[in-house]
Chains A and B, each alone.
Chain A
């Protein structure tokens, strides 16, 4: 494994962003267990191209993400691929918490009284970070919730699975384009835990080889073979 270029500790309910360069990979590690990482992805060169939940699901016939899956943009290209995963299931369906949800579930904790332990929500965290790149509420799309599992039964009912992610669990995303990654560690919006208890994660970035002909993500679906071909054309 190539050396780690840099590492970041992201505290609970905090927001992080970085332009992840093509040919590097971001490893997210659930430090304590029960983490949730909400994440959005944009093509850094043209942010109107961004992660698209429906295109990602229907191209791979999935309602969950794991190793071998890729994250599609709305332009038919692969922003990131999941090259390692110890959790086996990440939730692309459930969206993010907002101010009203956090207030109704956990009550209120303002900065005035609680300083940096004040309650934060994922929607506002995303919008604030998006603004730093000239983006905003109009650019919010459906985020991924890494480390969280929500199953859908035959009637369509959604059920959050508690205790899914354990301490030391990790997922690694290879950047297949130059990707603006925005993530936060707010609690999952369907987490039934009545306590405000978001968890920290550790991030590390390293260089990785480009996807080979037998790459696990490239060969997992014929659609992904075409997705990689179209992504590689973009850089020609």
Chain B
């Protein structure tokens, strides 16, 4: 599947209505309006981008990893994948993907899961769920820890075998790879640009990403 389905987007970054760099270890939260295009670009390669989406009109209706993989009967996300909500809505569709596959089973790192996975003294290392909590606490509007659910890991490689094993492998991404989505409804996007240093998900070197948004009507200069 990797490398077989890699249409590139045609949108010009110079015409994006929003264009920001998110450093490693930082959260990012932003609304994306129906019809807008949303691109996440892996600037330096092999950077896991932990991402959550919510229906902007009903935060209880949020991205569902299980509904998304079941709807397409495939665990990997790529061009054509409809990102499904817990209440059965299509939040966004992946319309371009130069990486080829993305994970949604590996979840987000947490100080607590780091203790289990690596060593109890890893508790004090920065982790994605710290960033998620910071992002939603700053956003307010009633969002709480219980609203943080199972996320997408863009650019992350978590293969599963027919025998039922699951591993975190070296990333399949590279500098400049990107994924682009079309918003099918108004959504709230929350990103943790992953700070994990204990496994190869960031090639042991977390790096910045670039996020871009284009308005639905292509603007000419």
Chain A residues within 8 Å of B, Cβ to Cβ: 48, 52-55, 57-59, 61-64, 72, 74-77, 89, 93-96, 98, 100-101, 123, 136-143, 151-159, 189-190, 223, 226-227, 229-230
Contacts and interface: CB of A to CB of B under 8 A. Distances in A.
Interface residues of B, number: 46
A98 B88 contact: yes
Contacts of A151: 162, 164
Given A95-B66, A155-B74, A54 B105 contact: yes
A76 B116 contact: yes
B107 A58 contact: yes
Contact of B116 (A61, A63, A89, A230): A230
12 contacts: A55-B113, A58-B107, A76-B112, A93-B75, A94-B70, A100-B88, A137-B61, A152-B161, A152-B162, A152-B164, A155-B74, A226-B115
Given A151-B164, A158-B74, A139 B146 contact: yes
B21 interface: no
A157 B73 contact: yes
Contact of B146 (A138, A153, A159, A229): A138
B152 to A, nearest CB: 11
B35 to A, nearest CB: 24
B162 A52 contact: no
A156 B75 contact: yes
B162 A154 contact: yes
B131 to A, nearest CB: 15
Contacts of A223: 116-117
Contacts of A94: 66, 69-70
Given A58-B113, A156-B74, A190-B73, A53 B150 contact: yes
Contacts of B70: 94-95, 158, 189-190
B161 A137 contact: no
B160 A156 contact: yes
Contacts of B86: 123, 137, 140
Given A54-B105, A157-B74, A158-B74, 14 more contacts: A53-B66, A54-B108, A61-B165, A61-B167, A74-B129, A76-B113, A89-B164, A95-B64, A95-B67, A98-B87, A142-B65, A142-B150, A156-B101, A158-B69
Most buried by B among A57, A123, A229: A57
Interface of B: 1, 59-61, 64-67, 69-70, 73-76, 86-88, 101, 105-108, 110, 112-113, 115-117, 119-120, 129, 144-147, 149-150, 158, 160-162, 164-168
A63 B164 contact: yes
Given A137-B87, A141-B149, A189-B70, A63 B113 contact: no
A34 B168 CA distance: 33
A231 to B, nearest CB: 10
B129 to A, nearest CB: 8
Nearest to B166: A63
Contacts of B164: 62-64, 89, 151-152
A156 B161 CA distance: 8
Nearest to A89: B164
A89 B61 CA distance: 30
Nearest to A64: B164
B198 to A, nearest CB: 11
Contact of A57 (B69, B112, B147, B166): B166
Contact of A138 (B88, B112, B147): B147
